[in-house]
């Protein structure tokens, strides 16, 4: 085992930017208004299981489909780039799906908002850049932060306000664009 604090911090920040739980606060607030209380424990647990499951089985699934990690990393970088553009420009690129009433802590909160395609793609991409144990630690760091944000979403809503949330989305959007460009450079050259 090779624990590297720099890798843990880097992969934690990358996952934090992709998951964008702070940028999802308006969605969380809207879900709570439409469906009543959300369940932070349930949403965090399901998100963690999805992330860890794809982290360990992702390469196997790719091999099964005949896709190499470089190609998947470049595809992931493209998705990160588009998500970053979406966040920075305030335009919707990805279609938002309507949810059925019921378990709104799982769908759409745990999946696809927290552990969606961008997160899964990022996890496989991170595997080619960092040691597995450091990424697993960063997943758990992010899950703790996700739980804290979900648990205190009422308080965060009052403190940040609409303008604060929008600023956070734009800052993390630019960070995602930079990360995507770094992955492109690393994989293509």
pLDDT in tens, 24-35: 887 787 777 777
Q: What DSSP line would sit under 19-42, residue for residue?
A: H-TTTTHHHHHHHHHHHS---HHH
DSSP state at residue 104: T
pLDDT of residue 98: 52
Q: Residue 96: is its pLDDT beyond 80?
A: no
pLDDT of residue 95: 59
Phi-psi region of 119 (alpha: psi -120 to 50; beta: other; left: phi over 0): alpha
Mean pLDDT of 155-167: 80
Q: 101-152: per-residue pLDDT in tens? A: 446 678 778 887 898 777 887 898 898 889 999 999 999 999 999 999 999 9
Mean pLDDT of 63-88: 82
Using a pLDDT cut of 90, give the percent of the chain over it: 31
pLDDT of residue 103: 63
Q: Residue 154: is its pLDDT beyond 70?
A: yes
How far apart (Å, rounded) are the C-alpha atoms in residues 5 and 9?
Answer: 6
């Amino acid at each position: 085992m090779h624990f590297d604090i720099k890798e843990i911090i880097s992969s934690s920040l990358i996952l934090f930017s992709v998951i964008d739980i702070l940028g999802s606060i308006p969605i969380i607030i809207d879900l709570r208004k439409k469906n009543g209380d959300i369940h932070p424990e349930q949403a965090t647990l399901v998100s963690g299981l999805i992330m860890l499951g794809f982290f360990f089985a992702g390469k196997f699934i790719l091999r099964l489909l005949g896709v190499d990690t470089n190609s998947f990393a470049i595809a992931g970088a493209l998705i990160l780039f588009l998500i970053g553009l979406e966040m920075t420009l305030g335009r919707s690129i990805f279609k938002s799906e309507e949810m059925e009433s019921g378990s709104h802590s799982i769908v759409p909160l745990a999946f696809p908002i927290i552990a969606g395609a961008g997160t899964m793609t990022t996890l496989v991409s991170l595997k080619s850049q960092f040691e597995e144990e450091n990424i697993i630690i960063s997943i758990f760091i992010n899950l703790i932060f996700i739980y804290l944000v979900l648990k205190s979403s009422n308080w965060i809503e009052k403190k940040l306000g609409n303008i604060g949330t929008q600023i956070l989305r734009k800052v993390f959007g630019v960070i995602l664009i930079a990360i995507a460009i770094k992955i492109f450079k690393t994989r293509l050259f």
